[in-house]
Amino acid sequence: MPILRYRVSMFLLWILVAYVLLLLIVRAFEGRLIFFPDYPGRLEGDWHPHRLAPQDVWLTSSDGTRLHCWWISKPNARFTFLAFHGNASNIANRAPTYEFLSNTPANILALEYRGYGHSQGKPSEAGIYMDAEAAYQYLVKQRRLDPKSIISFGQSLGTAVATHLAANRTVGGVILEAPFPSAARVASKLYWFLPGLSLLMHGQLDTESNLRKIGAPVLVVHCVHDPVIPFQFGEQVYTSAHAPKQFVQINGSCHEEASLVDPVQYDSALQSFLGSLTAAR
């Protein structure tokens, strides 16, 4: 019996060691688990949509990475959306969203993160935050926009970028479409078969923590049947935000397509939100 217990104990110990090593390997390659710049196609889409007539803008991040953006101007615009898209694909495939936003009317600066689309470099959390900062500085210093006229707009992955920027720079408002509390919460949902992985990702893409630092008004938009980011995550993000804040529930199945699924409801909420910002200025 003592020998049997010893063998069982050693077997369990080796399983534990192997699992810890597996988690460390996953952590080492976590960038590939979080960022998908090449899926479904890095350069897919129409890069010259006539209805938007975007101007190509090239920026340089603080570490020297060259970034591609779209500048979409609108006459008599009161606000400018600094737009951070979700994972995979590129800004060209988000053209319908930008068309919806531009009808506000508002200007749009759509940022292409490093490693995505035509932008150079390799994506990382620190890197995409630097990219957001470069885009913000472009609006403030080169376009000479009032920071209070800038709306930090994020979708899915971009909601973490939008909140990080707003937590560290002055903006007029924050709009989060299909947000998530943190990378750890997403990991615990998607990789439920790897218990402990979320602990290794603690503090990464931490939307909740950044929201607590934001004083600007927040609008959260989430589809009830989101196949990627659970609706409950959007509710949790909304709870973490300070007032004034609004929550828009889109009844349907969508992820970053809320403006296409229910443009009337979305537009009504957006106009109300922007109207409240105008009144406060």
Indicate which CATH number applies to the domain containing 158. 3.40.50.1820
10 lies in some domain: no
Is beta strand 106-111 parallel, antiparallel or unpaired with respect to 66-72? antiparallel
Q: Copy the structure tokens of residue 77.
A: 């615009």
- 102 close to 74: Cβ distance less than 8 angstroms: yes
Domain extent for 113: 35-280
275 lies in some domain: yes
pLDDT in tens, 222-255: 999 999 999 999 999 999 999 999 999 999 999 9
208 lies in some domain: yes
**Strands, E assignment, the chain:** 55-60, 66-72, 79-84, 106-111, 150-155, 173-177, 218-225, 245-253
Q: Copy the structure tokens of residue 117.
A: 């689309």
84 lies in some domain: yes
What mean pLDDT is predicted for residues 2-28? Answer: 54
pLDDT at position 35 is 83
- 179 close to 222: Cβ distance less than 8 angstroms: yes
Residue 204, pLDDT above cutoff 90: no
Per-residue confidence band for 192, with pLDDT thresholds at 50, 70 and 90 = very low
28 lies in some domain: no
241 lies in some domain: yes
- The residues near 217 (Cβ < 8 Å, ≥ 6 apart) are 173, 174, 244, 245, 246, 273, 276, 277, 280
27 lies in some domain: no
Percent of the chain with pLDDT over 70: 81
Among 107-121, 194-208, 211-225, name the one with the lowest average pLDDT. Answer: 194-208
> What average pLDDT does the chain have?
87
Q: How many domains does one find in the chain? A: 1
Among 26-30, 48-52, 168-172, 254-258, name the one with the lowest average pLDDT. Answer: 26-30
- 146 close to 133: Cβ distance less than 8 angstroms: no
Q: Copy the structure tokens of residue 10.
A: 């050693």
d(CA 64, CA 46): 27
101 lies in some domain: yes
Listed residue (166, 55, 41) closest to 102, CA to CA: 55
- DSSP H helix total and E strand total for the chain: 11, 8
pLDDT in tens, 90-138: 999 999 999 999 999 999 999 999 999 999 999 999 999 999 999 999 9
